[in-house]
């Protein structure tokens, strides 16, 4: 019993995390209910605030099949959907979330309604499939492929992916923003036709503003984590990120709870309270965690491992001032583009050309003074995997930070090997100790 | 120069055996050679500033060793192979590299290439995902910038005249490729699929004007029809991800089939779309490279802004050209093939098969690992498919 | 296994041989053929057509035609069960599903990549359990509470089985679990063909009553099994040979393309 209690306390969770996490769950349930009783529903890819405010302003309920893939995996419903996708001829090497969704849609088509076994209320039949060109091919090809089962139109929102150096060429920024604004304009026109109603621009401006505020605050909270000891563990980040990443429900409610969280984290910083009792090692985590084995972080915390920064793709953009921009579409474009390119300046200086996904970890490692990193490649999510070897190499060779690779998957939860990871952790500890000395010798500040 | 002595298909085979030979020779003569990945870098612009484009391909016969350290094994083996060759120094003769946002892993590989190999010239074209007007404009803005970087790298002007000239030259080459493909319409075809592929690889390894000469020789040689393939019951179309080695096509053609047309990117996909000569030549180029090129990496809707999706219409708009190919080349079966881990082609498979079933064309999907050894098990599938349609 | 069937014009079988295969045996197709000829009491030049099929089909230098096992199996199954729509064949090295319409093969799926969906899976695990392959079927039928084998890979499944034994779970429940694992893998693959009755099950593994039972459950319907499930491919090949010959004769052609000699393969590593 004793040891059990000790385990529970290994990570000092934020008190303000709980209400926020509850709100996230509640908003999810409310959304399911609303779309079940006939509110127009869109299935949407995570789009980094590029389309969400527009959909919300048009009163469309949004469900995220990527997120639902994680739900199905957790409830054990995924294997049946994956089998269906396989037997419909989709190659098995493709994204597990996509195959889950394809199987789900196939079954929904057979039944003509939400499959009764679908966990957490299922996903209602959509009037729109909102694809996104950002970061991953699956995120538009998958929705295109759903045409087999659904008659909903697909719209793909564009976000430019310039190269690091190219993004600083004369006119590149203006052109990128212009492109996004024009496309978003087309998107609004399209939605107006789809729903036979007009956009409420004031409402859009307000929602956009709220979301930016949330992201700003969320950013500031994460900035506070640079303190030693780090006041907030990655687990709290993951528990709360959805209120920013999937801005469901009323953003004002989320904003309020993030404010509380900011206070708590700040207090902790002032009182030098860490998320882990004795912070021996500060670590970064890439990308999605092993959802079903989060307890591994408690075990690691007992060894003094504090996870101080994580998951670049789920972090809000670095702040830029768009308050003077009157067109909400332009504000949206600038913020989302900033999310993608926010680290490019540093990357260019460092001659690191994967300015998103890879370079941010170098920046994090330096700013948050990390001793090591835990990298978690996912078998069927190539997007979260492609860059990790580069990250590992650059962290070690440029910043003398060792890292550990532990493989997993997004739907095949058995793949993550807890025992093996714990074994490797010991070796990483030795390396972290060793590289501390190396960094000092090389004149790095930590 | 001995290779100048060889002509037509002999010369093609020679180039196919040692792709880089000519490029290295040109370099020794003082010409700059520019490598490019996949179909999206605009070749006309390279030629217009007197650079010799050279397509970066993989090598199925070379085991991947160095790329293992920077790309995981669960991604496209073609792109891993190409990067591997780069890391091994096999592309060191290139003066610069142009890459583009083809697929996600292609994009990331571009950045990895630059980070590790740091070529003296590098440009990344961020090809948009859609074909909308705004996307075309966005590509055009990038091409304007691309032009500037080429000029400052070479110290030469990329003039309108030269660009128009280059467009005409490339269109001429494209027309000749079509002419060659036309020679596959008779039964039996006058040239095999494997040989055609060698011609395509050769064209991508030498300057465009030399390619034009070579094509002319090949065409007149093939027209004589002395060594064409025998008549076989199956006339196949091969669709899918990149094929840059003859092994797969050879394996199919050793069976009771001739491959008479392809929809792959070392083939018709690269050469069929022409560039229209517009007042501002960039407009024609943008249209061709974004809208005209039919690679599934680009998202298209059958009607811009449609509010309901009609599945068959959607398939028709995405794959209708395949039906046209099938008719023109009198095809009675389709082999869909893709390297494993290619999402771009993978997601397409059930839809394309639905479409082919809908128009009554028998089809099969083969997945492989981009290695010759791994082709063996595919042989039984391919042969059984031929027995089914035979 | 190497199989030979010699068949007369009336589709009566005059010789049937089932012998072992291996790199060495595969090269010796001529020896097995000689044996079969002896059994049938025929000489080689009395044979009007030789069809080679299966993995070793390219190692039979005296064959007139090579036809894939998919087509041959389909033909063999149709001759035994004219109403068949789906044929499932699980052999030692691969598993396949055939879709048949009006007696003709129209589509197929196959797995030759992963041992877990083939007879090899059972072989490996039977060996680990110290059992004979032939015993598995009967043992599993005694099971009352089948365990679930969750590993999809042969190597892991083997470890899992050993683990279960050490937990004291009855052997029959474990073996039944194994049968279910292989049946569910194969059923999943065959579902791509949209299963319709009649379903016929052939191949070495079809002799295992436990797998037959599990496969029934997994596809949710009846399954027919021929008396000699190992021979369907060879029977099909022989029938196709007969048909080809009759067609050729009718046209006044001969089936033989080259001089045929009963000798061993020279490049025996080609098909391995
Ligand atoms: S591959 Fe990864 S990023 Fe892409 S859709 Fe799937 S889970 Fe999302
Ligand atoms: S084969 Fe597919 S994954 Fe590979 S480079 Fe081409 S589009 Fe990308």
How confident is the model at residue C257, as a pLDDT? 64
A178 CA: distance to closest CA in chain C (Å): 46
Ligand lying closest to the C-alpha of residue B110: 2
Cα B234 from Cα B188, distance rounded (Å): 10
Q: How confident is the model at residue B362 (pLDDT cuts 50, 70, 90)?
A: very high
Distance of alpha carbon B203 from alpha carbon B209, whole angstroms = 10
Q: Which among C39, C109, C47 has a CA at the least distance from the CA of C73?
A: C109
> For atom 2 of ligand 1, which residue has the closest CA?
A381
In a shared domain, residues C254 and C205: no
What percent of chain C shows pLDDT beyond 90?
A: 35
Spell out, as residue ranges, where chain A has pLDDT lower than 50: 1-7
Q: Is residue A314 part of a domain?
A: yes
Categorize the per-residue pLDDT at C21 as very low, low, confident or very high, splitting at 50, 70 and 90. low
pLDDT at residue A419, rounded to an integer:
92
List, for residues B185-225, the tens digit of each pLDDT value.
999 999 999 999 999 999 999 999 999 999 999 999 999 98
- Lowest-pLDDT range of B145-149, B377-381, C102-106, C109-113: C109-113
Residues C214 and C86 in one domain: yes
Q: Which of A360-364, C119-123, C256-260 has the lowest mean pLDDT?
A: C256-260
A88 touches chain C (CB under 8 A): yes
Q: Are B97 and B113 in contact (CB under 8 A)?
A: yes
Give the whole-angstrom CA distance, residue B98 versus residue B231. Answer: 42
Asked if residue C87 has a cis previous peptide bond (ω within 30° of 0), the answer is no
Buried b (16+ CB within 10 A) or exposed e, C119-158: bbbbbbbbeebeeebeebbebbeebeebbebeeeebeebb
Instruction: Tell which one of B75, B127, B344 to mutate to probe ligand 2, the residue whose CB is within 8 A of the most ligand atoms.
Output: B344
**C173 and C113 both lie in a single domain:** yes
User: C145 and C174: one domain?
Assistant: yes
Choose the residue to mutate in B240, B293, B345 for probing ligand 2, maximizing ligand atoms within 8 Å of C-beta: B345
How much is the ipTM here?
Answer: 0.94
CB C163 within 8 A of CB C148: no
Shared domain for C118 and C187, answered yes or no, is yes
Domain that holds residue C45: 2-70+232-269
**Burial B69-78, CB ≥16 within 10 A → b, else e:** ebbbebbbbb
Residues C129 and C192 occupy one common structural domain:
yes
Q: Which whole number is the average pLDDT over B24-44? A: 97
In angstroms, the separation between the Cα of residue B293 and the nearest Cα of chain C is 32
User: Closest ligand 1 atom to the C-alpha of A382?
Assistant: 1
User: Is B75 close to A382, i.e. CB distance below 8 A?
Assistant: yes
Which ligand 1 atom minimizes the distance to the CA of A410? 7
Element at A328 (helix H, strand E): helix A328-341
For the domain spanning B18-130, the CATH number is: 3.40.50.11890
Tell me the per-residue pLDDT of B60-112, one tens digit each, with 9 for 90 and over: 999 999 999 889 988 999 999 999 999 999 999 999 999 999 999 999 999 99
C224 part of a folded domain: no
| pLDDT at C55 (0 to 100) | 81
pLDDT at residue C26 in the model: 59
Residue with tokens 């999510």: A381
Are residue C91 and residue C191 in the same domain, yes or no? yes
Which tokens hold the place of B301?
């809707």
Domain that holds residue A320: 17-441
State which H helix or E strand residue B97 sits in. strand B96-100
Mean pLDDT, to the nearest integer, of B149-173? 97
Tell whether C115 is covered by a domain: yes
Residue A249 contacts residue A204 (beta carbons within 8 Å): no
In chain B, the residue whose alpha carbon lies closest to the alpha carbon of C71 is: B384
- C192, A89: Cβ pair inside 8 Å? yes
Q: Is the pLDDT of residue B18 over 50?
A: yes
Which secondary structure element, helix H or strand E, spans residue B234, and what is its range? strand B234-240
Among A76, A79, A80, A87, the residue to mutate for chain C (most C Cβ within 10 A)? A87
Digit-coded pLDDT (tens) for C207-240: 999 999 999 999 999 999 999 898 999 999 999 9
Q: Which of A409-423, C139-153, C172-186 bottoms out in mean pLDDT, i.e. has the lowest?
A: C139-153
State the nearest Cα–Cα gap between A411 and chain C, in angstroms. Answer: 15
Chains that touch C (3 or more CB pairs under 8 A): A, B
* B339 three-class SS: strand
Asked whether residue C252 is assigned to any structural domain, the reply reads: yes
Please give the mean pLDDT across all residues of chain C.
85
* Total Cβ atoms within 10 A of residue A323: 9
Q: Using CA atoms, how far apart are residues C185 and C213, in angstroms rounded to an integer?
A: 14
Does residue C194 register a pLDDT over 80? yes
Residue spans of the domains in chain B: they are 18-130
What is residue A8's predicted lDDT score, i.e. its pLDDT? 55
The whole model's pTM is what?
0.92
Considering its fold, how many domains does chain C have in total?
A: 2
**Stretch 167-226 of chain B: residues touching chain A, C-beta under 8 Å:** none
A382 exposed, middle or buried (CB, 10 Å; 0-12, 13-18, 19+)? buried
Among residues 336-355 of chain B, which lie with CB inside 8 Å of chain A?
338, 340-341, 343-344, 346-351, 353-354
Q: Would you list the DSSP string of A166-220? A: GGGSTTHHHHHHHHHHHHHHHHHHHHHHHHTS---HHHHHHHHHHHHHHHHHHHH
Asked if residue C267 has pLDDT above 50, the reply is no
From chain B residues 235-254, the ones with a CB under 8 A of any chain A CB are none
**Is residue C24 pLDDT above 80, yes or no?**
no
Instruction: Report the nearest atom of ligand 2 relative to the CA of B242.
Output: 1
Q: For the domain that residue C143 is a member of, what is the CATH number? A: 3.30.420.40
B161/B89 Cα distance (integer angstroms)? 36
**What tokens appear for B85 in the block?**
């060759």
- Res. C23: pLDDT tops 70: no
């Amino acid at each position: 019993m004793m040891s059990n209690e000790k385990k529970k306390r290994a990570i000092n969770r934020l008190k303000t995390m709980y209400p926020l996490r509850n709100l996230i769950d509640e908003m999810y349930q409310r959304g399911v209910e609303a779309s079940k009783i006939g509110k127009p529903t869109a299935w949407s890819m995570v789009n980094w605030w590029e389309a969400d405010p527009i959909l919300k302003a048009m009163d469309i309920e949004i469900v995220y099949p990527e997120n639902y893939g994680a739900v199905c995996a957790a409830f054990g419903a995924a294997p049946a959907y994956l089998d269906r996708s396989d037997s419909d001829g989709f190659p098995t090497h493709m994204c597990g979330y996509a195959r889950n969704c394809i199987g789900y849609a196939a079954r929904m088509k057979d039944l003509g309604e939400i499959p009764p076994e679908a966990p957490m209320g299922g996903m209602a039949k959509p009037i729109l499939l909102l694809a996104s060109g950002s970061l991953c091919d699956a995120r538009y090809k998958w929705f295109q492929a759903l045409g087999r089962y659904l008659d909903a139109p697909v719209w793909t929102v564009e976000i430019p992916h310039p190269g690091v150096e190219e993004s600083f060429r004369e006119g590149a920024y203006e052109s990128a923003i212009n492109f996004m604004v024009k496309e978003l304009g087309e998107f609004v026109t399209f939605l107006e036709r789809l729903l036979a109603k007009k956009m409420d621009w004031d409402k859009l401006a307000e929602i956009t503003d709220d979301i930016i505020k949330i992201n700003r605050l969320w950013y500031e909270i994460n900035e506070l984590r640079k303190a030693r000891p780090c006041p907030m563990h990655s687990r709290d980040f993951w528990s709360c990120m959805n209120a920013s990443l999937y801005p469901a429900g009323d953003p004002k409610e989320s904003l309020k709870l993030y404010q509380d969280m900011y206070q708590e984290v700040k207090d902790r910083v002032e009182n030098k309270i860490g998320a882990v009792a004795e912070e021996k090692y500060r670590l970064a985590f890439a990308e999605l965690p092993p959802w079903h084995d989060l307890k591994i972080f408690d075990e690691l915390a007992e060894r003094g491992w504090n996870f101080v920064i994580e998951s670049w793709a789920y972090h809000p953009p670095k702040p830029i001032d768009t308050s003077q921009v009157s067109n909400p579409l332009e504000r949206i474009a600038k913020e989302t583009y900033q999310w993608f390119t926010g680290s490019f300046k540093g990357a260019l200086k460092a001659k690191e050309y994967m300015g998103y996904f890879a370079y941010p970890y170098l920046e994090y490692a330096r700013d948050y003074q990390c001793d090591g990193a835990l990298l978690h490649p996912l078998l069927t999510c190539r997007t979260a995997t492609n860059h990790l070897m580069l990250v590992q190499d650059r962290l070690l060779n440029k910043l003398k930070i060792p890292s550990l690779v532990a493989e997993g998957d997004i739907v095949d939860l058995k793949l993550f090997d807890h025992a093996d990871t714990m074994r490797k952790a010991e070796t990483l500890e030795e390396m972290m100790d060793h590289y501390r000395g190396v960094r000092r010798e090389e004149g790095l500040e930590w | 120069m001995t290779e100048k002595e060889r002509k037509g298909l002999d010369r093609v085979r020679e180039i196919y055996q040692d792709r880089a030979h000519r490029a290295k020779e040109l370099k020794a003569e003082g010409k700059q050679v520019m490598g490019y990945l996949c179909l999206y870098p605009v070749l006309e612009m390279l030629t217009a500033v007197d650079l010799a484009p050279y397509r970066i391909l993989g090598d199925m016969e070379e085991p991947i060793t160095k790329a293992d350290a920077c790309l995981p094994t669960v991604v496209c083996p073609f792109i891993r192979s190409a990067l591997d060759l780069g890391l091994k120094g096999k592309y060191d003769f290139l003066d610069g590299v142009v890459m583009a946002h083809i697929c996600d892993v292609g994009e990331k590989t571009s950045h990895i290439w630059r980070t590790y190999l740091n070529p003296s010239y590098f440009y990344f074209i961020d090809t948009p995902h859609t074909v909308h007007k705004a996307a075309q404009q966005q590509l055009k803005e990038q091409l304007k910038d691309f032009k500037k970087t080429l000029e400052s790298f070479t110290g030469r002007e990329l003039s309108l005249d030269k660009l128009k000239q280059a467009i005409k030259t490339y269109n001429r080459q494209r027309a000749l490729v079509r002419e060659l493909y036309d020679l596959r319409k008779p039964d039996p075809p006058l040239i095999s699929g494997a040989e055609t592929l060698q011609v395509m690889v050769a064209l991508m390894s030498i300057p465009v004007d030399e390619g034009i000469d070579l094509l002319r020789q090949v065409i007149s040689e093939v027209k004589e029809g002395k060594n064409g393939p025998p008549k076989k019951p199956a006339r196949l179309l091969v669709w899918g991800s990149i094929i840059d080695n003859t092994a797969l096509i050879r394996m199919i053609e050793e069976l009771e089939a001739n491959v008479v047309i392809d929809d792959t990117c070392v083939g018709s996909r690269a050469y069929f779309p022409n560039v229209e000569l517009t007042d501002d030549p960039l407009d024609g180029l943008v249209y061709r490279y974004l809208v005209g090129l039919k690679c599934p990496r680009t998202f298209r809707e059958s009607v811009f802004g449609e509010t309901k999706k009609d599945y068959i219409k959607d398939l028709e708009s995405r794959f209708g050209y395949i039906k046209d190919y099938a008719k023109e080349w009198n095809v009675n079966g389709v082999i869909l093939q893709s390297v494993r881990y290619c999402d771009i082609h993978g997601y397409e498979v059930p839809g394309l098969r639905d479409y082919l079933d809908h128009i009554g064309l028998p089809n099969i999907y083969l997945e492989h690992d981009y290695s010759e050894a791994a082709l063996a098990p595919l042989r039984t599938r391919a042969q059984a498919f031929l027995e089914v349609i035979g | 296994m190497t199989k030979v069937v010699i068949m007369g014009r009336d589709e009566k079988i005059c010789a049937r041989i089932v012998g072992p295969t291996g790199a060495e045996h595969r090269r010796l197709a001529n020896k097995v053929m000689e044996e079969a000829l002896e059994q049938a009491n025929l000489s080689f030049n009395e044979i009007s057509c030789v069809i080679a099929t299966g993995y070793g089909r390219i190692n039979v230098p005296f064959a007139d035609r090579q036809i894939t096992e998919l087509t041959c199996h389909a033909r063999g199954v149709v001759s035994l069960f004219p109403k068949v729509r789906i044929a499932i064949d699980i052999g030692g090295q691969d598993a396949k599903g055939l879709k048949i319409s009006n007696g003709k093969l129209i589509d197929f799926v196959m797995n030759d990549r992963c041992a877990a969906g083939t007879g090899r899976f059972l072989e490996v695990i039977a060996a680990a359990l110290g059992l004979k392959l032939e015993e598995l079927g009967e043992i599993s039928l005694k099971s009352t509470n089948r365990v679930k084998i969750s590993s999809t890979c042969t190597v892991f499944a083997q470890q899992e089985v050993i683990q279960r034994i050490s937990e004291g779970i009855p052997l029959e429940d474990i073996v039944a679990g194994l049968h279910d694992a292989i049946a569910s893998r194969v059923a999943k693959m065959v579902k791509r063909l949209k299963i319709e009755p009649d379903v016929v099950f052939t191949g070495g593994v079809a002799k295992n009553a436990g797998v037959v039972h599990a496969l029934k459950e997994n596809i949710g319907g009846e399954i027919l099994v021929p008396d000699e499930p190992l021979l369907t491919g060879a029977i099909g090949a022989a029938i196709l040979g007969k048909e080809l010959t009759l067609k050729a004769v009718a046209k006044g052609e001969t089936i033989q393309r080259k001089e045929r000699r009963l000798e061993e393969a020279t490049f025996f590593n080609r098909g391995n």
